[in-house]
Every structure is written in structure tokens, then in C-alpha cells.
């Protein structure tokens, strides 16, 4: 039974860690004022967290010294499962990726193959410093239930059906594991680690990659919805040209607005621009070639219609564009803004800030790290007090 005193201390610890997460280094007096916690309690909690090497003091002898996260002391082991590969990374509490690598994956992989590949990669990261691991976070393409740790389905992994992945990896690795959809994880990376965005409570995240990914945060929490489908725009109908989609239907928004769709449309109209090997080349074509610009304009009209409706319901602090080379978003943003403005007839699009999130490669890894940290910070840390590292997630 956890006492009221312990609960208060856990709450204070979470508030202090979260405030430093949002604001960066703070003095103890500032922490007391911002968190509404007595200075004596702040001093006591900070002392505990410094002792556990979670926080550090710029000058331990000086009562006015700022308190900051101690880098490279504690790590989350993160993995991101994409259609052709798994990216692994060891990420510290400040969001710095310490070590990362990729392992190729076959779409025919069985559930056992997937668990084995995940555990081999995570195991090699864990072996680097076994007593410095806080937990494991795995970002997955497709439909995921975080609470039960179930990977329900993914278009690119036909063998995956209601797979109890969290339980399987927890059993093998012997430590707590958190699963999340990769778009929701990427959204969380931005709002957890980007100082410009830590104030956001409501956000829409959009990525234009091989498909169109999106996710929502409502009232400060990732919002999966009743069936884990909230914010899934990628397979909404957005045209009538009969374009086949990877989901087996036709005319989904990603057949008009994903990077491969933009590239195909531009090269069909302007074959001389071939080969357009990557997002930067497509962005350059959109900026310089009027035909390519017109194709992008029509694609953003379709996207703006769907996104505008979503934004009207969510009323976000910000719309985030991520998981892609920022140059592509910079090329598309003027026409996307224009079409959002047209949707919001009674309300200026000035009320809809759109931010481009720069880190495309590690966003899902950093997002899983932020999600694991959020759980760790909120957990009743009596285990942390009693027997030190590694402390455990509350599942
Ligand atoms: Zn589709």
C-alpha cells in the first residue's frame, strides 16, 4: 500500500522532472515557484534524483545553481519497425541517440521472426551498459494498442494479426516494454523534446513518405481513439481517378499526396526531370518547374480539404509535418497553407501554426523514448527508492 506521503513525493518528482523537460535547466527556487512545491521538498527530491544520476547540478555547493538532466547516464532502448527494416537506437533522457543501426526485414517475416530480430537488436544495445536501461519502446507501422501491448495489423506485414508483442519482448528481455504506432511516436518526439513545442496540448502530426501518416494529441496525450484509428487519414478517399492503393482499395489520399505519388505524377507530366531519386529532388522540381508546381498544388488541395476538416474538429495548437526531408515540406507548404486558409473561411489560417519537424530519421526512436520517460516519471517510484536501478514501468 502506497502512503499519501509517497504519492505526494511521486507527484512532486514527476512535476519537477517534467518541468525541467519542458523548460531546460532551472534553479531550485524556480522549480518551487513553477511547480507550486515547497522549496524544502524540491531540494529533497532534486537531491534524490542527483544521487540516482538522473539530474545534475551545475555547482553542487551553490544553492542557486541550475538543475539539468544528466546526459548519457540512463537510456531507453528503442526500435522502429518499418516495412523493410527495423531501426534500433539507444537514446538518453535528453533525446540524444547514442548508438543506432538498421536491420533489413522481409515483408514475409513471421511473428516469431519479428520477435527474434527485435530481441537480438535490443539485446545488443542492452549489453552495452546493462544497468543503465530504463525500459524499451517499440514504434510500429499499423494498428497498435499501447495499453495491452498488442500489434493488431499492418498492411505491409500480412502475418501480423493481434500479435501480443509487448508480452513476447518483455518475456525475452526481462524488462518493461511499451508499444506505440510510429506516427503517434513521432508526434510525441516533437512535443516532448522540441523546446518550441513542449507547451502544446493539442496537435496534429502529418508525414508524407511512402504513404500518408498522421496522428493526434489531445489534451496532452496521444489520442488513439476507440479502435486505434484516430487521425488515420492515409486511406481516406480523396479522388476518383481509380488509382490503386496498397490497402487494396483505390483513390486513397496517399495515392495522390505521398512522395511516390508526387514523383510519379511529376515524371508522367515532365519525363525530362527523371530520375528524381529522393524527396530533395522532388522538392527542387516543385520549386523550379511550373508543371511540377501545379501537380503539387492539386495534391495539396486534396490534402488541405481533409486536413482542414480534421483541424476544425481538433482545434490544434499546431500542425506538425515530420518524418520526411524538410525540403519537401518547405516546397509544399505555401500551397498547403493556401488551401487550409480556403477551408477555414470564417477563421484565419494564422490561427493554425504549421511547424516542420527537422529530425526525420530518429523521430520514432526519440518518440518512444519520450513515451517511456513519461511512464517512468509518472510511475510510483517506490522501486526506484528501494533498490535503485533499473526502475520499472507500471503496467
Ligand atoms: Zn488505401
Interatomic CA distance for residues 224 and 216, integer angstroms:
7
User: Tell me, what's the pLDDT at 51?
Assistant: 87
Residue 143 C-alpha to ligand 1 middle, in angstroms? 14
Ligand 1 centroid–CA 262 distance in Å is: 16
pLDDT range class, residue 342, cuts 50, 70, 90 = confident
Q: What value does the CA radius of gyration of the chain take, rounded to a whole number of Å?
A: 22
Q: How close is the Cα of 213 to the center of ligand 1, in Å?
A: 11
Q: Which residue has the higher pLDDT, 130 or 285?
A: 285
Distance 233 CA to ligand 1 centre (A): 10
Confidence at residue 4, expressed as pLDDT on a 0 to 100 scale: 84
Q: 386 CA to middle of ligand 1, Å?
A: 51
The pLDDT of residue 348? 63
The per-residue pLDDT for range 32-65, each reduced to its tens digit, is 999 999 999 999 999 989 988 889 988 878 878 8
Number of neighbours of residue 232 by Cβ within 10 angstroms: 19
Residue intervals of the chain classified under CATH 1.10.10.10 are: 4-69
Average pLDDT over residues 141-157: 91
How far does the centroid of ligand 1 lie from the alpha carbon of residue 208, in Å? Answer: 14
With pLDDT > 90 as the criterion, what percentage of the chain qualifies?
Answer: 69
CA 109 – ligand 1 centroid, Å: 22
The DSSP-derived string for 112-133 is HHHHHHHHHHHHHHHTTSGGGE
β partners of residue 181: 140
Averaged pLDDT for residues 280-295: 98
The three three-digit cell numbers of residue 287, written as one number: 520549386
Q: Residue 138's pLDDT is what?
A: 98
pLDDT for res 390: 40
234: CA distance to ligand 1 center in Å?
Answer: 7
Predicted confidence at residue 384, as pLDDT, reads 47
Predicted confidence at residue 2, as pLDDT, reads 67
Fold classified for 75-187+363-387:
Nucleotidyltransferase; domain 5 (3.30.420)
Q: For residue 249, report the distance from its CA to the centre of ligand 1, in Å.
A: 5
What is the Å distance from ligand 1's center to 390 Cα? 43
pLDDT confidence band for 160 (50 / 70 / 90)? very high
Angle ∠(297,334,222) on CA atoms, nearest 5 = 100
- From CA 100, how far away is CA 75, in angstroms rounded? 13
What does the pLDDT read at residue 350? 62
- Is 292's pLDDT higher than 90? yes
Compute the distance between CA of residue 255 and CA of residue 64 in angstroms, rounded to an integer.
57
Per-residue confidence (pLDDT) for residue 108, from 0 to 100? 83
Distance 245 CA to ligand 1 centre (A): 5
Q: If you measure from the C-alpha of residue 223 to the centroid of ligand 1, how many angstroms do you get, rounded to a whole number?
A: 22
Three-class DSSP category at 312: helix
Q: What is the CATH code of the structural domain delimited by 4-69?
A: 1.10.10.10
Give residue 211 CA to ligand 1 midpoint distance, Å: 9
User: Over the chain, what is the mean pLDDT?
Assistant: 90
Report the separation in Å between the CA atom of 157 and the middle of ligand 1, taken as the mean of its atom positions: 15
Query: Residue 243 C-alpha to ligand 1 middle, in angstroms?
Result: 10
What mean pLDDT comes out for the span 94-113? 92
Name every residue whose Cβ is closer than 8 Å to that of residue 32 and which is 6 or more positions away in sequence: 38, 39, 42
- How far does the centroid of ligand 1 lie from the alpha carbon of residue 314, in Å? 23
Give tens-digit pLDDT for 348-379.
Answer: 656 688 999 987 789 999 999 999 998 888 87
52-56, 83-87, 269-273: the lowest-pLDDT one: 52-56
Residue 394 confidence class, pLDDT cut points 50, 70, 90? very low
Identify the CATH class of 195-356: alpha beta
User: Cα–Cα distance between 54 and 121 in angstroms, integer?
Assistant: 25
Ligand 1 centre to CA of 142 (Å) is 12
Q: Helix, strand, or coil here: 183?
A: helix
Per residue in 172-186, pLDDT (tens digit) is 998 889 999 999 999
Q: How far is the CA of 235 from the centre of ligand 1 (A)?
A: 4
Query: Beta-carbon neighbour count of residue 288 at 10 Å?
Result: 11
CA distance 369 to 77: 8
CA of 256 to the centre of ligand 1 (A): 11
Residues 184-218: tens digit of each pLDDT: 999 999 999 988 898 999 999 999 998 999 999 99
Compute the distance from residue 244 Cα to the ligand 1 centre, in Å: 8
Q: Find the 322 Cα to ligand 1 centroid distance in Å.
A: 20
Where are the CATH 3.30.420.40 domain residues in the chain?
A: 75-187+363-387, 195-356
State the distance from the centre of ligand 1 to the C-alpha of 186, rounded, in angstroms.
21
Ion ligand 1 neighbours (CB, 5 A) are: 235, 245, 247, 249, 252
| Per-residue pLDDT, 385 | 35
Going by pLDDT thresholds of 50, 70 and 90, the confidence category of residue 7 is confident
Amino acid at each position: 500500500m502506497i502512503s499519501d506521503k509517497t504519492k505526494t513525493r511521486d507527484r512532486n518528482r514527476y512535476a519537477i522532472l517534467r518541468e525541467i523537460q519542458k523548460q531546460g535547466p532551472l534553479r531550485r527556487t524556480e522549480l518551487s515557484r513553477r511547480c507550486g512545491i515547497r522549496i524544502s521538498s524540491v531540494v529533497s527530491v532534486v537531491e534524490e534524483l542527483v544521487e540516482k544520476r538522473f539530474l545534475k547540478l551545475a555547482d553542487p555547493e551553490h544553492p542557486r545553481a541550475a538543475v539539468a538532466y544528466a546526459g548519457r547516464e540512463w537510456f531507453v532502448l528503442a526500435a522502429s519497425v518499418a516495412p523493410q527494416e527495423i531501426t534500433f537506437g539507444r537514446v538518453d533522457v535528453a533525446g540524444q541517440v547514442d548508438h543506432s543501426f538498421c536491420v533489413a526485414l522481409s515483408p514475409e517475416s513471421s511473428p516469431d521472426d519479428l520477435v527474434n530480430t527485435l530481441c537480438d537488436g535490443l539485446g545488443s544495445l542492452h549489453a552495452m551498459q546493462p544497468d543503465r536501461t530504463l525500459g524499451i519502446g517499440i514504434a510500429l507501422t499499423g494498428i497498435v494498442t499501447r495499453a495491452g501491448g498488442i500489434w493488431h495489423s499492418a498492411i505491409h506485414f500480412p502475418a501480423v494479426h493481434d500479435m501480443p508483442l509487448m508480452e513476447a519482448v518483455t518475456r525475452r528481455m526481462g524488462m518493461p516494454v511499451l508499444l506505440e504506432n510510429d506516427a503517434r511516436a513521432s508526434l510525441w518526439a516533437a512535443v516532448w523534446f522540441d523546446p518550441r513545442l513542449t507547451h502544446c496540448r493539442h496537435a496534429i502530426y502529418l508525414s508524407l513518405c511512402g504513404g500518408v501518416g498522421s496522428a493526434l494529441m489531445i489534451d496532452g496525450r496521444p489520442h488513439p481513439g476507440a479502435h486505434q484509428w484516430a487521425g488515420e487519414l492515409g486511406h481516406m478517399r480523396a479522388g476518383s481517378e481509380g488509382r490503386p492503393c496498397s490497402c487494396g482499395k483505390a483513390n486513397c489520399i496517399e495515392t495522390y499526396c505521398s512522395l511516390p505519388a508526387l514523383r510519379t505524377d511529376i515524371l508522367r507530366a515532365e519525363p525530362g526531370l527523371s530520375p528524381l531519386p529522393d524527396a530533395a529532388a522532388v522538392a527542387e522540381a516543385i520549386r523550379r518547374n511550373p508543371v511540377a508546381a501545379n501537380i503539387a498544388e492539386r495534391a495539396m488541395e486534396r490534402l488541405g480539404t481533409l486536413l482542414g476538416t480534421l483541424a476544425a474538429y481538433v482545434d490544434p495548437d499546431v500542425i506538425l509535418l515530420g518524418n520526411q526531408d524538410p525540403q519537401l515540406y518547405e516546397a509544399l507548404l505555401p500551397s498547403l497553407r493556401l488551401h487550409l486558409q480556403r477551408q477555414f473561411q470564417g477563421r484565419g489560417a494564422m490561427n493554425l501554426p504549421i511547424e516542420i519537424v527537422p529530425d526525420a530519421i530518429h523521430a520514432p526512436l526519440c518518440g518512444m523514448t519520450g513515451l517511456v520517460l513519461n511512464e517512468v516519471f509518472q510511475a510510483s517510484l517506490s522501486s526506484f527508492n528501494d533498490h535503485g536501478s533499473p526502475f520499472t514501468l507500471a503496467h
